[in-house]
Structure 1
Amino acid sequence: MSAGWSLWVMFLIVLNMGITFFLFLWGPRVKIPTLPDQTTGHVWAHGTIREAVRKLPLWWLLLSGAMFVIGAIYLVLYPGFGNHQGALGWTAHGELAKAEAANNARLDELVLRFREYPIEQLADDPAAQQMGARLFVDNCAACHGRGGYGNVKLGAPSLIDDDWLYGGSGKDILASIHDGRSGLMPPWASLGEDNVKNLASYVLSLSGSPHDAARAAAGKPLFATCAACHGEQGKGNPALGAPNLTDRIWLHGGRYEDIVRTIGGGRQGHMPAWNTRLSEDQIRVLAAYVYHLSHQGDAATRTTL
């Protein structure tokens, strides 16, 4: 802090400690007027409780005096008195650095072991799951939810099913987290409002969802425009991030109105790259945790570590 602010802080400390110390010395000696019964005359509870005057107990005086001494010693040893750095040279940054170094030392052994296994096998390791869960909450839960259920409003996919836009192998998930993903569904409002509604009905029919059969029949020829990305059968294309339209799993909602809005106005999604925030080892552990989320039911079929 600047010299001016330092002096101001020092002044406030001296003022507050000075006033408090004065009251501490003056309090035991002050004479309080009392009645013949040694009370002040103040009463509560309709006169059933009277305020008496007693000397402060010795233990309280000794304890309070010790606090002043401890406070003075603290200001000498630690920073707090303006720009005074403290005789011990203690700093919050230094304490944090020591704690991080100690934590990293404990993690090194785990991280070295984690590197020996593929993502799919690492997903079953309890220590990796615990570390991955913390990384997930800190970095992914804002969009995908704490439990990985996804968020339709944000277009963040659920991570607890086995439906993947860019592939669900350990390698695919690792690439998604490391490098990020960007998806674009172009708007097709140029087809006309009626055709967009017909096409939406046909898309619903692909998954066996309730739909208008007449509109679906009219929209089927129009799906050729969509097949370039989603495939002729609507099964999707992980290479492009085009979702499967036949499984009733919807990124932006599966109501008729939602699909009309998606086709007519298009959609754009962005999964940021985490390689600038997380280390390579952290990304591997996080990828293993995401893989674990979607394979919790078949963990017994995989080889455990």
Structure 2
Amino acid sequence: MSLFWSLWIMLLVVLNLGITFFLYLWAPRAKIPVREDGTSGHVWAHGVLREGVHRLPTWWVVMSGAMFVSGFIYLALFPGFGAFKGLLHWTSHGELAENAAANNARLDELMKRFSLYPIEQLSNDAEAQQLGKRLFQDNCAACHGRAGKGNQLLGAPDLTDSDWLYGGEGKDIYTSIHDGRSGVMPPWASLGEDNVKNLAQYVLSLSGRPHDEKAAEAAKPLFATCAACHGPDGKGNTALGAPNLTDQIWLHGGSLNDIETSIRDGRTGHMPAWSPRLTDDQIRVLAAYVYHLSRTDHEPSP
């Protein structure tokens, strides 16, 4: 703080405290002229209401005096009087550093314990779940939602079901968070609109949904092109991030129009790598929380 601003703040403090303290000392002793009936002479409502004059209540005088004493003590102990740092030399930065150091020390102990267990077992630890939930809400909820239910508009998958594009084991989830994922479904508009519609019917047939059997049968040979990623039976491929087409789980929507759009225009998805932002230990805890979201048959805590 420059000398000018330090002096300016000191002037304001002295001026405000000085005026209010003077009024505090003067007010109980001030002589206010009153009439014989103890009123000041101010009347309202044609004399029905008259202004009385009484001494300040003792409780008000005592409390006000205590507030002044507290104010003077505060200015002596803490920064607030210009550039004076206070007798305690307290700063908000210092308190933040102390709290952060204490929190980091506690986290270090937790992380050491967490490192003893694989992600699958860590997913049942109550303290790991508490920390993982906070990490998830701070970093993942923007796309996957606070409850992990996903977002079709963003292409963010539901993390609470049993369907995994890149595998649902602890190491798979850890890799997805640590390194990120990028998936591309190429557009197949070059096949022609009729073939796109027929393929959509065939995809519907794979999951046992109502479909046009004739159109699906016509598209069956064309699906050989799709089988390179999705497999000949449409079960998907976690190595490529190709989704399973035989279940009822749809990343970009499962209506006929959604499926046709996916085939015709293609889809792209990007899961950013969180290793630049989170430590490896934090990613392990986060992976354990995500693993926990999709499983209801949990084992006892370690």
Distance across 2 between alignment mates of 1:115 and 1:221: 50
How far is the alpha carbon of 1:29 from its aligned partner? 4.7
**What is residue 213 of structure 1 aligned with on the other side?**
213
* Cα-to-partner distance string for 1:8-32 (whole Å, 9 max, x where unaligned): 5444444443443344345445566
* Cα-to-partner distance string for 1:15-51 (whole Å, 9 max, x where unaligned): 443443344345445566766654564669x999765
Structure 1 spans left out of the alignment, 5+ residues: none
Distance across 1 between alignment mates of 2:38 and 2:156: 74
Aligned-partner residue type, residue 290 of structure 1: V
**Secondary structure of the residue that 2:182 maps to in structure 1?**
strand
What's the TM-score, normalizing by structure 2?
Answer: 0.87
Q: Does 1:173 align with 2:173?
A: yes
Q: Pick closer, same or farther for the CA change 1:77–1:232 going to 2, 3 Å.
A: same
**Secondary structure of the residue that 2:268 maps to in structure 1?**
strand
Q: Pick closer, same or farther for the CA change 1:205–1:74 going to 2, 3 Å.
A: same
**What is residue 143 of structure 2 aligned with on the other side?**
143
Aligned-partner residue type, residue 128 of structure 1: A
**What is residue 196 of structure 1 aligned with on the other side?**
196
Distance across 1 between alignment mates of 2:133 and 2:225: 41
Distance across 2 between alignment mates of 1:50 and 1:261: 82
Q: How do 1:1-305 residues align onto structure 2 when only pairs under 5 Å count?
A: 5-30=5-30, 37-39=37-39, 41=42, 52-295=52-295, 297-299=296-298, 302=299, 304-305=301-302
How far is the alpha carbon of 1:136 from its aligned partner? 1.5
How far is the alpha carbon of 1:80 from its aligned partner? 2.9
More deviation, 19-28/127-136: 19-28
Aligned length: 301
What's the TM-score, normalizing by structure 1?
Answer: 0.86
* Cα-to-partner distance string for 1:96-119 (whole Å, 9 max, x where unaligned): 111122222223332222111111
Q: Pick closer, same or farther for the CA change 1:241–1:82 going to 2, 3 Å.
A: farther
* Cα-to-partner distance string for 1:167-210 (whole Å, 9 max, x where unaligned): 00011011111111112222222333333222222222211223
Q: Pick closer, same or farther for the CA change 1:123–1:11 going to 2, 3 Å.
A: same
Q: Pick closer, same or farther for the CA change 1:247–1:90 going to 2, 3 Å.
A: same
Contact 2:126–2:301, Cα closer than 8 Å, also in 1: no
How far is the alpha carbon of 1:281 from its aligned partner? 1.5
* Cα-to-partner distance string for 1:262-298 (whole Å, 9 max, x where unaligned): 2222222221222222222111111111111111x21
CA RMSD of aligned residues (A): 2.7
Contact 2:237–2:244, Cα closer than 8 Å, also in 1: yes
How far is the alpha carbon of 1:243 from its aligned partner? 1.0
**Secondary structure of the residue that 2:116 maps to in structure 1?**
coil
Distance across 2 between alignment mates of 1:50 and 1:212: 93
Distance across 1 between alignment mates of 2:286 and 2:254: 29
Q: Pick closer, same or farther for the CA change 1:84–1:229 going to 2, 3 Å.
A: farther
Distance across 2 between alignment mates of 1:43 and 1:213: 93
Aligned-partner residue type, residue 126 of structure 1: A
Distance across 2 between alignment mates of 1:98 and 1:261: 55
Contact 2:206–2:234, Cα closer than 8 Å, also in 1: yes
Distance across 2 between alignment mates of 1:34 and 1:261: 89
Structure 2 spans left out of the alignment, 5+ residues: none
Distance across 2 between alignment mates of 1:67 and 1:118: 57
Q: Pick closer, same or farther for the CA change 1:90–1:221 going to 2, 3 Å.
A: same
**Secondary structure of the residue that 1:160 maps to in structure 2?**
coil
Distance across 2 between alignment mates of 1:71 and 1:3: 23
**Secondary structure of the residue that 1:221 maps to in structure 2?**
coil
Distance across 1 between alignment mates of 2:51 and 2:241: 79
Q: Pick closer, same or farther for the CA change 1:213–1:17 going to 2, 3 Å.
A: farther
